[in-house]
């Protein structure tokens, strides 16, 4: 067998409406190298696993199907799949998103092969709703160039983790131990930890080609994280993750700009809804040295939230 160049990790939970398009977008890739697809369904209650099973039987040389005996949660599901990857490079794709450029992974791998000084390469995402209407692009203001850990932590630059192909550090024992801890910080959120850890290993190349779609699913009845959790729950989860990562990295990296946004949004959103209990909880979780600064930002953030809820909605 030829050496596996890339491992594509596809994780899913109750995504029967979308999973075929996701898998097909990977199978349609044109490459001069061999890649593997690892399908990791987390005990879906619908037909997601059966659909995956059909693809695995049809493409046994490409697809590896992981069957879970119990629901692991997003982070452990992804971690276990990543630990089983064989590729020199690795990338993750959610079971409701899909690629739109058949040359996507060839472009990214060609760059990484030619530029060993980069840990990975990332690109823009299209954001589309369930009607396939283009809502915009993520990240906003994304430019061609590179991203370092310092720029990312200070929020000067952002990137989409699921658009990224990076060198497979799961082959290094020390990185595996780090990721086992980081993936234990939250049962359902893995993008914050992995996005940071990639950059601790080196800088990322950024290109502006929008080669994938992030499917926006906020409607009632959907199975994704954002549809099943309230705004305050989501913000509090991210704050906890960043605070714990600061301790893990022994304050080598300052994540204040990361959790400042979640704290200010959390307090402002709660105040706009007269939810003083949640507002107090966000204030208390904030490190004391930053509390005065957070309070000074409150009026601005409250105005922004009210503007989005009232003015933009009416327009």
Instruction: Give yes or no for residue 227 having a pLDDT over 50.
Output: no
- Do 201 and 148 contact (CB within 8 A), yes or no? no
Instruction: Give yes or no for residue 195 having a pLDDT over 80.
Output: yes
pLDDT range class, residue 272, cuts 50, 70, 90: confident
Instruction: Give yes or no for residue 162 having a pLDDT over 90.
Output: yes
Among 215, 247, 281, the domain-final residue is 215
Among 177, 192, 215, the domain-final residue is 215
For the chain, the average pLDDT equals: 91
Measured CA distances, 246 to 91, 194, 256 (Å)? 25, 14, 9
- Pick the range with the lowest mean pLDDT from 54-63, 117-126, 201-210, 283-292: 283-292
Question: Of 66, 70, 61, which Cα lies nearest the Cα of 49?
Answer: 66
How high is the pLDDT of residue 314?
47
Residue 224 lies in a domain: no
Q: Give 253-266 pLDDT, tens digit per residue.
A: 999 998 887 888 88
pTM of the model: 0.90
Residue 302 lies in a domain: yes
Top-confidence residue, 189 or 298: 189
Q: Is 246 helix (H, G, I), strand (E, B) or coil?
A: helix
Give percent of the chain with pLDDT exceeding 70.
92
Instruction: Indicate whether 209 and 301 sit together in one domain.
Output: no
Terminus-to-terminus CA distance in the chain, angstroms? Answer: 58
Domain holding 108, by residue range, is 4-215
Among 180, 215, 250, the domain-final residue is 215
**What domain count does the chain have?**
2
Taking each helix axis from N to C end, the angle separating 173-182 and 191-200, rounded to the nearest 10 degrees, works out to 150
Measured CA distances, 64 to 8, 81, 96, 119 (Å)? 10, 10, 19, 25
| Over residues 192-208, mean pLDDT | 98
**CA count, 13 A, side-chain hemisphere, 6:** 28
Instruction: Give yes or no for residue 176 having a pLDDT over 90.
Output: yes
**CA count, 13 A, side-chain hemisphere, 149:** 15
Q: Rounded to a whole number, what is the largest CA-CA distance in the chain?
A: 62
pLDDT range class, residue 2, cuts 50, 70, 90: low
- Do 121 and 89 contact (CB within 8 A), yes or no? no
């Amino acid at each position: 067998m030829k050496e596996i160049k890339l491992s594509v990790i596809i994780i899913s939970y109750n995504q029967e409406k979308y999973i075929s398009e996701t898998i097909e977008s990977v199978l349609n890739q044109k490459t001069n190298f061999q890649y593997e697809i690892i399908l990791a369904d987390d005990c879906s209650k619908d037909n997601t696993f059966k659909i995956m099973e059909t693809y695995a039987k049809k493409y046994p040389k490409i697809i590896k199907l992981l069957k879970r005996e119990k629901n692991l949660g997003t982070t452990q599901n992804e971690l276990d799949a990543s630990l089983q990857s064989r590729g020199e490079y690795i990338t993750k794709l959610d079971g409701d998103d899909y690629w739109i450029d058949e040359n996507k992974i060839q472009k990214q791998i060609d760059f990484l092969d030619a530029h060993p000084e980069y840990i990975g390469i990332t690109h823009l995402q299209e954001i589309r709703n369930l009607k396939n209407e283009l809502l915009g692009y993520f990240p906003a203001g994304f430019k061609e160039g590179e991203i370092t850990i310092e720029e990312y932590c200070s929020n000067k630059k952002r990137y989409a983790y699921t658009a990224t192909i990076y060198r497979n550090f799961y082959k290094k024992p020390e990185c595996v131990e780090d990721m086992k801890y980081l993936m234990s910080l939250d049962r359902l959120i893995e993008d914050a930890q992995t996005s940071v850890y990639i950059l601790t290993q080196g800088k990322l190349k950024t290109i502006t080609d929008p080669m994938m779609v992030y499917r926006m699913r906020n409607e009632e009845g959907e199975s994704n994280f954002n549809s099943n959790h309230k705004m305050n729950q989501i913000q509090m989860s991210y704050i906890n993750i960043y605070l714990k990562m600061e301790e893990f990295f022994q304050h080598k990296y300052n994540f204040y700009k990361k959790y400042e946004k979640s704290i200010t949004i959390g307090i402002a959103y709660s105040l706009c809804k007269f939810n003083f209990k949640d507002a107090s909880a966000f204030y208390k979780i904030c490190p004391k040295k930053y509390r005065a600064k957070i309070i000074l930002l409150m009026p601005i953030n409250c105005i922004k939230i009210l503007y989005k809820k009232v003015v933009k909605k009416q327009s």
